[in-house]
Amino acid sequence: MSTLFTNIGELWVFDVEAGVSVLREAALVADGGRVAWYGPRAEAPDADERVDLGGRAVLPGWVDSHTHLVFDGDRSREFEARMAGRPYEAGGIAVTTDATRAATDDRLRRLVAGRVREAQRGGTTTIETKTGYGLSVDEEARHARIAAELVDEVTFLGAHLVPAGWDADAYVDLVTGEMLDAVRPHVTWLDVFCEEGAFTVEQSRRVLEAGRRAGLGLRVHGNQLGHSGGVALAVDLGAASVDHVNHLSDDDVEALAASATVATILPACDLSTRAPFAPARRLLDAGAVVAIASNCNPGTSYTSSMNFCVGTAVLQQHLTLEEAIRAATLGGAMALRRTDVGSLRVGARADLHVLDAPAAIHLAYRPGMPLTHRVWRAGEPLTEGTA
Ligand SMILES: N=CN[C@@H](CCC(=O)O)C(=O)O
Ligand SMILES: [Zn+2]
């Protein structure tokens, strides 16, 4: 079954090989869930079905490469206190851990599925999520199993916080041993929170090396609250991505630019924690690959709106529109080492995010407006729409 999407005002293809970023007055054909053709509207071939997009802009679906969706409980009071001047501290993770441990499987499944639907309604078609609010062998395995039922990419984050009553090194032994074995069937990635108040560089290295031995891809929460050493560690171990990156030395920027490790910025988290924005402009100017993700979680970034993150990156972090859209699509795909999503080149998965706007700049020009019109994933509609 093939579908011709026509009357596209702007088509953001990010076809790296062909060197095409955006086409105007365009059309696209999806066949068998993949992009079969794109080009000028006037030259479009026939297809079984035709969808007129009314001159709207079309992007690849967002690739949200960093979220923490497996959680229960409410931390709005903590957020309110932060807005009144209290700083963000890693210890808040324990509050969510208590609430999440108390939730039944069915309740957690419903909560995660609801959050995935919410993200999809905002144009996200590929989503990663992490464990990290279980922090015991059984709970981490349960969260990983539920996440694997509902999201595209699952990351083991047993090393999110040292639980109360544990010695840090003994907990690292558990994470790298029994806990890793228990979650392994459900995950393809491993992450560590390398930060003061969480895990030291040495402990983080042990966790990452164990993940690598188990055949997992590596990710790092690094340099969020200070110069934690997480960026250097991520680059040294060839991690796919290091995320947050708020506090970077010149050496960190150079190391990222010279490596295949993606620097993932989390604009909504920076706003919600009143942190200095990650120096995305500096990273791009140095030649690093940058991704944008939502970091949806109850402590530091309770939003999965990639539209908001992209608008913020343009308005506040001085990315061009093209840099920001690329970071939230192709950049996210690179952070997940995926080549099938994040662009609309021929052969890519037909994930289409149709904006209710003639041009994608509306994401920054009309911040906060409901700009996602319709979403298709692998050529199938994920959301309903009018014309
Ligand atoms: N920084 C570490 N982890 C999460 C926050 C977790 C929490 O506070 O619940 C983050 O990515 O911001
Ligand atoms: Zn995170």
Ligand 1 near 221 CB (within 6 A): yes
H helix intervals, the chain: 76-83, 93-101, 105-121, 137-150, 168-174, 180-183, 201-213, 230-236, 250-257, 267-272, 280-286, 306-315, 321-328, 330-335, 362-365
The Cα 360–Cα 357 span in angstroms is 7
194 Cβ inside 6 Å of ligand 1: no
pLDDT in tens, 282-297: 999 999 999 999 999 9
**Residue ID of nearest Cα to ligand 1 atom 8:** 299
Each residue of 24-42: pLDDT tens digit?
A: 999 999 999 999 999 999 9
Strand partners, 11: 23, 58
Give Cβ neighbours of residue 321 (< 8 Å, ≥ 6 apart). Answer: 314, 360, 361, 363, 364
CA distance 55 to 149: 37
pLDDT digits (tens, 9 = 90+) for 202-261: 999 999 999 999 999 999 999 999 999 999 999 999 999 999 999 999 999 999 999 999
Tokens 């990635």 correspond to what residue?
A: 189
CA-nearest residue, atom 2 of ligand 1: 193
Q: How far apart (Å, rounded) are the C-alpha atoms in residues 100 and 69?
A: 11
| Among protein residues, the one whose CA lies closest to atom 12 of ligand 1 | 300
3-state helix, strand, coil in the chain (%, to 5): 35, 25, 35
Q: What is the ipTM of this complex?
A: 0.97
Q: Show the domains of the chain with their CATH numbers.
A: 2-61+342-381 (2.30.40.10), 63-335 (3.20.20.140)
**Residue 90 Cα: closest atom of ligand 1:** 8
CA of 30 to the centre of ligand 1 (A): 38
State CA 383 to chain mean position distance.
20
Tokens representing 322 are 């093209």
297 pocket-lining for ligand 1 (C-beta < 6 Å): yes
Instruction: Report residue 66 as tokens.
Output: 């960093």
* Average of per-residue pLDDT across 117-130: 98
